[in-house]
Amino acid sequence: MTLAIYLVVYFVRPIRVHIRRQYILLSKKMVIKLYSIGIPATLNIALPSLLISALNAILAAYSEVYILVLGIYYKLQTFIYLPANGIVQGMRPLIGYNYGAGENKRVSQIYKIVLCMSGIIMVLGTVICLLIPGQLMGLFTHTEATIQTGKTALRIIGAGFVVSAVSVTSSGALEGLGKGIPSLLISLCRYVVVIIPTAFLLSSIFGAVGVWNAFWITEAITAIISICVYYKAISQSQRSQSTVK
C-alpha cells in the first residue's frame, strides 16, 4: 500500500528525479557500501534483544520479580528514548548532505545541537524517574514488592540517561556519515561488551541491585568511547576529503 501511494504521488506530482529502467543498474561498489552501512544498522537494532536475554539470565538467579521489573523498565524507557531517536533519525540525512557538500563546520554544529536536544530529553526522563518511580511502576503492576523493587531500579538506572545522549547521538551521526562499523562498535559496547560483564560482576558482589548499577556505569564508559570513536572517524573523513580535493 505504501509503494502504491508513492507511485500515485510520483505520477500525479512528478519530481526532478525520474525513474527509468536503464538507470536501475547494480554497482558492486555501491552495493558493498550500502551493506557496509545497512548490516551494522541492523545489528544495532538486534543487540538490545541480546542484552535483555543476558540480563534475564543473570536476574533469574535471584527472583522473578527482578525479571518483571527489567521488562517494565524497557517498556518505560521506550517513551524516553523514542523522542531522542526520532531527532537522531532527522539528523542523519542532514549530516550526510552537509558532509557530502564539504560543510564540516555545519556537520559539527548539527551534531552539537542534536546532542543538546537529546540531553534535554534525557534530563526530563531522569527527573521523572526520580520523582515518580512508584507511579510509573504502578502503571504495570499493583504488587507492592514489585513496585518497591522497581522504584529502586528506576532511580539507579535513571542516573545514566543524561550521559547516554552522547552514545545515542554519536552512533546516529556516524551512520549519517556512512561509518557503519564505528557506529556498531558503540552499540556493541553499550549492549554487550561492557554492560553484560559489568552486570555479571556487580551482581555477584551486590546481588540484583548490581545489575541496575551496571546500566549507568556502562553509559558513562560508552560515552567516553563514543566521543573518541566519533572524533577519530570525523578526522579521518576530513583527511580523506582533503586528499580528494
Q: What percent of the chain has pLDDT over 90?
A: 70
Cα–Cα distance measured from residue 169 to residue 159, given in angstroms and rounded to the nearest whole number: 18
Q: For the chain, what is the radius of gyration of the CA atoms?
A: 21
Give the pLDDT of residue 243.
Answer: 64
pLDDT-derived band at 242 (thresholds 50, 70, 90) equals low
pLDDT over 70 at 12, yes or no: yes
Tens of pLDDT, residue by residue over 51-104, are: 999 999 999 999 999 999 999 999 999 999 999 999 999 999 999 999 988 898
Q: What percent of the chain has pLDDT over 70?
A: 98
Q: Supply 160's cell numbers.
A: 545514566
Give the pLDDT of residue 116.
Answer: 96
Nearest to 189 by CA among 231, 229, 234, 232: 229
Nearest to 154 by CA among 214, 233, 69: 69
